[in-house]
Amino acid sequence: MASLICIVCPKGCHIEASKLENGEWDITGNSCKRGYNYAISELTHPTRMITSTVKVNYNDGEEHELVRCPVVTSSPIPKEKIFDVMNEINNASVDYPVMMHQVIIKNVFGLDVDIIATREIN
């Protein structure tokens, strides 16, 4: 038996899940199909979006207010890869100027997911 709180919408349904002998899941407590899909995803292949920041290289010898650029994964990544992807992000940097949605790391860790800028620094 597993207990989850659905995070798909603000209602936050408390979901109970138990695995049946045939390998399928019995899901209760969800108020809609999206909650069912969320529970199945969490139980079988949990994923997360990652937000972080990347160092900006100005290369002009001057001081700047914005020294890091906010970034996000282009789609959710497997939960077990979060540590590896965070390491890649922490070791990355981007040259000024930075465009909105600019790809900072392409195909991070071979996951077919990019790390993209979420603001323009120009």
Which residues sit at the interface with ligand SF4, rule CB under 6 A?
A: 6, 8-9, 11-13, 30-32, 34-35
When the beta carbons of 6 and 77 are compared against ligand SF4, the nearer one is 6
Residue in the shown chain whose Cβ atom is closest to ligand SF4: 35
Q: Write down the least CB distance from residue 75 to ligand SF4, Å.
A: 19
When the beta carbons of 30 and 74 are compared against ligand SF4, the nearer one is 30
Q: Write down the least CB distance from residue 17 to ligand SF4, Å.
A: 12
Q: Write down the least CB distance from residue 20 to ligand SF4, Å.
A: 20
CB 104 within 8 A of CB 94: yes
Cα atoms found within 13 Å of the Cα of residue 107, Cβ hemisphere only: 2
When the beta carbons of 11 and 55 are compared against ligand SF4, the nearer one is 11
Q: How far is CA 64 from CA 59, 108, 115, in A?
A: 11, 28, 23
Nearest Cα residue to 42 out of 23, 21, 20, 17: 17
Q: Is the peptide bond before 97 cis (omega within 30 degrees of 0)?
A: yes
When the beta carbons of 13 and 104 are compared against ligand SF4, the nearer one is 13
Rounded Cα gap, residues 53 and 121, in angstroms: 13
Q: Write down the least CB distance from residue 120 to ligand SF4, Å.
A: 33
